[in-house]
A and B are shown apart, each in its own frame.
Chain A
Amino acid sequence: MSDGNLVKEVKVIVFQLKDEEYGVEVDQVRSIERMQHITRVPRTLDFVKGVINLRGVVTPIIELRKRFGIEEIETTDSTRIIIVAAGNLEVGLIVDAANDVVDIPNNVVEPPPEVVGGVEVDYLRGVAKMDKRLLILLNLDKVLNSTELKETKFFKANG
């Protein structure tokens, strides 16, 4: 393969939610933390679990299951908080488990399947098929979309 022909690869951290595998680009991941005490922040969106003390920085935590409309479960030993950074936001995502790093060639990424009346696919960047694994790649900017956050909050504060 010549240099010009190189297929670009993207390194992703793989994490589990329910029985599916998701991927988030490694350069957007700051760290992976064990579950710890979360201080609830009242009057915020329901998927905002609260804030933690991340080495002196107050960091908001999002319950990713709730964000994606998956039913919640009790935290287990494998529950992790993935600290991600997108733009000027630094946020922790609660996931069921995080245990893998893979390189995904760009040419195996396909746009997310569109289903009429299906789940919000807005925050998915694509789906990568790797042998028998199916990785759902997240579009973090959308996941952390703050306009949506503000609108809902406005609604909440008034309602």
Chain B
Amino acid sequence: MDKSQYLDMFIDESKEHLQAVNDNLLKLENEPENVAIVNEIFRSAHTLKGMAATMGYEDLASLTHIMENVLDGIRNHKIFVSTEILDVVFESVDDLEAMVMSIASGGDGKRDVTKTVAKFEKIEKGESVGVHMNQTEVASTQESIISGIPASLELYDDFEVTVLSQATEQGFNANQIKISLREDCILKAARVYMIFQVLEQIGEVIKSTPTVDALEEENFDLEFTVTLITKETNDDVRNRILKVSEVEKVAVITLDLESYKRKTIDSEVHIEETKKETAQQAPTKRQKQNNSVETTSNKEKVHSPGSKTIRVNIERLDILMNLFEELVIDRGRLEQIASDLKSSELTETVEHMSRISGDLQSIILNMRMVPVEQVFNRFPRMIRALAKDLNKKVNLEIIGAETELDRTVIDEIGDPLVHLLRNSIDHGVEKPEQRQNAEKSDEGKITLKAYHSGNHVFIEVSDDGAGINRDKVLKKAIESGVVSEENGHNLTDKQVYELLFSSGFSTVDVISDVSGRGVGLDVVKNKIESLGGHVAVDSVLGEGTTFSIQLPLTLSIISVMLVEVQKEKYAIPLSTIIETAIVKDKDILAAHNQKVIDFRGNIIPLINLTDFFDVPKTLKQDSYHSIIVIRKGEKMAGLVVDSFIGQQEIVLKSLGNYLTNVFAISGATILGDGQVALIVDCNALIK
């Protein structure tokens, strides 16, 4: 079977399962007694194992397998959860992640995991009961692979029974399906695959005998048994399977779970059976199954009724977006033509089209929105490891993980956030002793909070640590020449904190493992600003520090004010505009050869865009001037233009690789008439 077409799906799903394992492991650490969590982890791990084996990534499958053994021990109370054990499990999850990443980047997913495996084995040996249990499990699995026919009597383990009974409580049927292939069946594995495809469309396969791996490798005779939970009737299930060719017969048995719970071997099973071509008698003997804990796949999210989502490649969305942009441009042209022609019928149609495409635009934009959860998810794990490394106690609280952001932004903010979080643990949160001395609880608290406000998303990283020592920062800044001594002492607290973002700045006396990686907060600042965002810091000495990041909702569409400068059109981002004004000649003053105006009591400099951009002069100067007041932080300036066209939502485009870093131009957009308009970078205009 050609697996390459499933590769993307495999990688995505593996990542999801690993994330689920991660999350649940963290939960488990807090509630070591909660078997439900172990079950969750087990299920994820198991699915991962099954997928890896199917795709032929043996290392991945075998490491997951041994991890499963330990989890199984925990589940059956043969191994007790301890930090050491969880560390090893976390370590193995790291290995698994590395393997999946390797596969994702085109590698073979191989990795030396002997260390982790050895640790797992130690854990198993540490508990004599656990060893015993695991050996039997391994043995029986092997047995089933060798013989192809399960040897022991049908016995589901507790976990499977729980799953099955939960399913029946929710109105699903639990069916055991025995499928026999025709003797002349050539590609048995392919048939099995097709049958599983059919089954997964109608329900969830809980278990198969022989195991999926064995089936995949054709390590079975002609018969195999699967356990399926579904809402379909037995007849329906049977008929669907019979649609697959080369199937000899299918027997569907509805499981009576009560009897399984009582573990009585002779139960009241209702047997149904069909023949496809031959009129053979149904086997009334109950299927044998091995004792291994083989639960096959749980694509609950995909298969559970009600959840209807599909995975779409982001590139496709980008293509859709690009096509849509062209449509918007054509729409603009049509609007223009319609207004020129003054045909009411045409105008009406164009107006209708505009409305529809407006709706379409918001739908496409929404499709690109993803919850920040995707990024936040990886942090609890990281915080845990860091806190351990630094011998600190830290509790991470995440608020607003459901806040949505454009995909392009999401992909970019991970690194800056990692850096800020590291910074909070390393510099912010004190060691437990110090915290006790300061009469705080010895466990530090870091809050990661995301929320929407207007056209922006705010993400805050705050800690309840020692806060920023103003004097220390200032001393360092003066030492490293970031500010001069005399300037330094006039700075406000906030301005001093801002110094943390200057390049090459570090306040730690001893460079620790965590922060000594050669990247400073300046990197964070640059990154955020390159995304059109802003980062600020606030702190109270002894009480903590808060870093606040402000980001635009999307990078691709912004609101601008279109203006005319002589015959050329420019776009000025609304986010930098304070207001527009029209001033008379006599209101323009001169201060040391610089034209200025009095704007609400502030003297602000004027920048004449015609001169600044060397625009060919074709229009006569009016005695009235249109001015756009822009700002950068506290500073303001007035841009002199010829006329305002109006506010518009535009699609941001880059000028390409050839024209990089054009001074005071941050990009371009395509207007309704098909022409390109440049976007003014107001930050560059104010020094």
Contacts and interface: CB of A to CB of B under 8 A. Distances in A.
B614 A42 contact: yes
Contacts of A43: 613-614, 662-665
B608 to A, nearest CB: 13
Contacts of A40: 568, 615
Given A42-B665, A56-B322, A60-B658, 16 more contacts: A37-B674, A37-B675, A39-B568, A39-B675, A41-B655, A41-B662, A43-B662, A43-B663, A43-B664, A43-B665, A51-B668, A56-B325, A58-B656, A58-B676, A90-B657, A146-B657
Interface of B: 322, 325-326, 329, 568, 612-615, 653-665, 668, 670, 674-678
Contacts of B675: 37, 39, 53
Interface in A5-48: 37, 39-44, 48
Interface residues of A, number: 28
Nearest to A38: B676
Contacts of B325: 56
A52 interface: yes
A44 B656 CA distance: 14
A119 interface: no
A41 B656 contact: no
A42 B665 CA distance: 8
13 contacts: A37-B674, A39-B568, A39-B676, A40-B615, A43-B614, A43-B664, A48-B659, A53-B675, A58-B653, A58-B655, A60-B655, A89-B657, A150-B660
Interface of A: 37, 39-44, 48, 50-53, 55-60, 88-91, 144, 146, 149-150, 153, 157
A66 to B, nearest CB: 15
A41 B659 contact: yes
A52 B657 CA distance: 14
Nearest to A55: B326
B17 to A, nearest CB: 36
A146 B658 contact: yes
A8 B120 CA distance: 62
Given A39-B568, A56-B325, A51 B663 contact: no
B655 A51 contact: yes
Nearest to B329: A56
A131 B357 CA distance: 57
Contact of B678 (A41, A52, A90, A144): A41
A52 B665 CA distance: 15
Given A39-B668, A42-B613, A56 B659 contact: no
A56 B677 contact: no
A42 B676 contact: no
B514 to A, nearest CB: 36
Nearest to A56: B326
A43 B657 CA distance: 16
A57 B676 CA distance: 10
A59 B664 CA distance: 18
B367 to A, nearest CB: 19
Contacts of A153: 661, 663
A150 B663 CA distance: 12
Contacts of A50: 676
Interface centre among A53, A89, A91, A157 (most CB of B within 10 A): A53
A153 B660 CA distance: 10
A53 B613 contact: no
Given A39-B668, A41-B665, A52 B676 contact: yes
Contact of A51 (B614, B659, B661, B664): B659
Contacts of B674: 37, 53
A1 to B, nearest CB: 42
A31 B250 CA distance: 61
Contacts of B661: 153
A138 B438 CA distance: 73
Contacts of A59: 656
Contact of A42 (B326, B329, B615, B656): B615
A40 B665 CA distance: 12
A100 B53 CA distance: 58
A60 B654 CA distance: 11
A101 B43 CA distance: 64
Contacts of A57: 653, 656
A86 B665 CA distance: 24
A133 B329 CA distance: 44
Contacts of B612: 42
Contacts of B322: 56
A140 B678 CA distance: 27
Contact of B657 (A39, A41, A42, A88): A88
Given A57-B653, A58-B655, A51 B676 contact: yes
Given A42-B613, A42-B614, A60 B659 contact: yes
Contacts of B654: 58
Contacts of A48: 659
Interface centre among A37, A42, A50, A56 (most CB of B within 10 A): A42
A18 B668 CA distance: 32
Nearest to B612: A42
A53 B663 contact: no
Contacts of A89: 656-658
- Among all A-B residue pairs, the 10 with the closest Cβ atoms: A42-B613, A39-B676, A58-B668, A60-B658, A58-B653, A43-B663, A53-B670, A56-B326, A89-B658, A60-B659
A89 B656 CA distance: 7
A58 B659 CA distance: 11
Contacts of A144: 658
Nearest to A90: B656
B210 to A, nearest CB: 52
Contacts of A56: 322, 325-326, 329, 670
A88 B664 CA distance: 23
Given A57-B653, A58-B670, A39 B658 contact: no
Nearest to A146: B658
A155 B563 CA distance: 29
Nearest to A88: B657
B58 to A, nearest CB: 39
Nearest to B677: A39
Contacts of B653: 57-58
